[in-house]
Structure 1
Amino acid sequence: MNLKSMLFGLALLGSAAPAALAHHSYSAFDMSKLVAIAGTVSEVQFRNPHVWLFVDVLAGDKTETWAIEAGGPNILMRQGWMANTLKPGDKVDLQLAPMRDETKTGGALQALRLPNGKTIGTWK
């Protein structure tokens, strides 16, 4: 293989990189609505590309686990949220944009009130 062909092949491989870095949208969430929930943190996945928070919410006589998608760790750290900010067992209040398909136990985090009363995000 000659140098020109090899460089052309590498250029083609490199052109696919921007697509791999593309970010998904929040189209799965109804960003025009806001739902407030309170519960107990059962799991925190503080890693890229998004932080996931799992919260057990009492619904009548049973408990539902909500899966809540937050921003990326870098964005959250700039707002004061570190990897050890929340831990399983913490009681939290949250505001989130619900799932567009009306799945009850999921959403996109908009604001979070920590056990110490500190708020991350804009509480409405």
Structure 2
Amino acid sequence: MNIKPMVFSLVLLGFTAPIAFAHHSYSAFDMARMVEIVGTVGEVQYKNPHVWLFVDVQTGDKTETWAIEAGGPNILMRQGWMANTLKPGDRINVQLAPMKDETKAGGALQALRLPDGKVIGAWK
């Protein structure tokens, strides 16, 4: 067995690892804070690499749409969230880590309470 190609391959893999971790950064979110919103599902984009949930939240006489980033479908399926779990029009409660830029209505999903009361994630 020739050791040089194996060493070269391992070194090459080592250079790609930081790129993979950089993609999964939560630097845009304030992970030290938790916000709870109640709203109506407007849209669910259940696809790789991350599921996106758009929730319409009523604040006074105006509606604000929150864009919420969740994990990948494979991770969510293990927690009990399937592609048909949420439908537009469902009323839900969401706990999320908000954007650091508070001018944007969005965040990273931490937990979700479904219309039937079932909780997905770690409700705090």
Residue in structure 2 matched with residue 94 of structure 1 by the alignment: 94
Listed as ranges, the matches of 1:1-124 within 5 Å are 15=12, 18=16, 22=20, 23-124=23-124
After superposition, the C-alpha distances for 1:46-88 in whole angstroms (9 at most, x for unaligned) are: 0000000000000110100000000010000000000000010
- The higher radius of gyration belongs to 1
Distance in 1, Cα, partners of 2:119 & 2:94: 9
100-109 or 36-45, which moves further after superposition? 100-109
**What do you get for the CA RMSD once the two structures are aligned?**
2.1
Count of matched residue pairs: 113
Distance in 2, Cα, partners of 1:101 & 1:68: 14
- The TM-score with structure 2 as length reference comes to 0.83
**Superposition deviation, residue 92 in structure 1:** 0.3
Residue type matched to 2:49 in 1? P
Distance in 2, Cα, partners of 1:75 & 1:116: 21
- Three-state SS of the structure 2 residue aligned to 1:67 is strand
- The TM-score with structure 1 as length reference comes to 0.83
Runs (5+) with no aligned partner, structure 1: 1-10
